[in-house]
Amino acid sequence: MSNNTAPTHMPAGTAPATERRRVHARLRHLLGSLVAGLVLVGAPVAASASYADREETRSFIAEVAERHAFDPAELERALAQARHEPAVIRLITPPTRKGVRSWRDYRARFLDDIRIDGGMAFWYQYAGELERAATEFGVPAEVIVAIIGVETIYGRNTGNFETLSALATLAFDYPPRADLFRRELEALFLLAREQGRDPASYSGSFAGALGYPQFLPSSVRAYAVDFDGNGRIDFDNDPIDAIGSVANYLRVHGWQPGEPVAERARLAPDTDGAPLIAAGIEPRLDPAHLSQRGVTTLDGRPAAAVATLVDLETPGEDTEYWLGYRNFYVITRYNRSSFYAMSVFELAEALRLRRVVDGIRAERR
């Protein structure tokens, strides 16, 4: 996740398989309750055992119940199960000393053998569904695979946090993002009602992102599709629903079928890239204007379309410049960071090339 903007979801850390994850989450819940009970005396308000008793929680419950015709007692019962998660606050809080951003380090986390080999395995396993998604939504299979790979290593790392507790913690004990996370907590209650599930039964990232594609609850409600047609959306166990949902998310956010994502840019000597970069992540610079300012493709052609100038910095090395087109911008709607979108694009390209090579080898046999 980038720190500068609201995440839709974020790549999770290392985690075991789904079932083990659930057991772990349950154990942690029990342990957490025990610990909370032991330290309750003298604990700060934020660490109170139940969110249902808090003043601002009561007004939240009243509002949400009113807006969506919930029984307030039902929301109270749900929130009584949520507990403060100090780790969530620790993970969401930006470091006090601004770290040095390094494209090389960031890239190395996602362009590795685990994600490339895993991506090929995932692609072969779900080739039919990926092709169907590409046809239906216009988003190439490799881009869908790459997003699921960057997010969760193809479902291996979907996160160990109980979503209800994580979102309650962020909604009520993290003022900088309280609005966003109260909306997500509200969306979780709606999602649980729609899916006939207990709101406490969801688990995922520390920031409330769910399943293979790491959608926040509001994104699940808005963009998820039942792509295997079994009548329900299941992000924990169903990569096929994730495939369709990622493709639908990108399509709704403006994916242009057949159009380029990004290409390397060349800056003529003495070009001042700063004002072009400052124009923002949304592509607004037309090719002629860019050429005039000294920005072209590597072989000196003008940009292929209206673009944004992307700078990928690594301390002590030359900055990489890229032309980001509309589809690059669409990937940043998934996670608002140039580093993120470029990692997805590069992983997608690596997978696509590997697939081409596999195809040639198969023909020769």
Task: Point out which residues bind Ca ion (CB under 5 A).
Answer: 226, 228, 230, 241
Among the listed residues 85, 129, 142, 151, the single catalytic one is 151
Alpha-carbon torsion angle 14, 203, 206, 152, nearest 10: 40
Give the strands of the sheet with 308-312, arranged side by side: 295-297, 262-267, 320-324, 308-312
Catalytic site includes residue 151: yes
Taking the complex as a whole, the smallest distance from the CB of residue 154 to Ca ion amounts, in Å, to 17
Taking the complex as a whole, the smallest distance from the CB of residue 230 to Ca ion amounts, in Å, to 4
Give the three-class secondary structure for 328: helix
Q: What is the 8-class DSSP label of residue 199?
A: G
109/232 with CB nearer Ca ion: 232
1/240 with CB nearer Ca ion: 240
Taking the complex as a whole, the smallest distance from the CB of residue 178 to Ca ion amounts, in Å, to 33
User: Which two three-digit tokens encode residue 123?
Assistant: 């692609």
230/319 with CB nearer Ca ion: 230
- Distances, alpha carbon 40 to alpha carbons 9, 165, 167, 226, 231, in Å: 32, 17, 21, 43, 44
Which amino acid is present at 158? T
Taking the complex as a whole, the smallest distance from the CB of residue 240 to Ca ion amounts, in Å, to 7
Segments of the chain assigned E as strands: 161-162, 203-204, 262-267, 295-297, 308-312, 320-324
Q: Is 93 exposed, middle or buried (0-12, 13-18, 19+ CB in 10 A)?
A: exposed
Taking the complex as a whole, the smallest distance from the CB of residue 229 to Ca ion amounts, in Å, to 7
137: number of Cβ within 10 Å? 23
15: left (phi over 0), alpha (psi -120 to 50) or beta: beta
> Which are the catalytic amino acids?
151
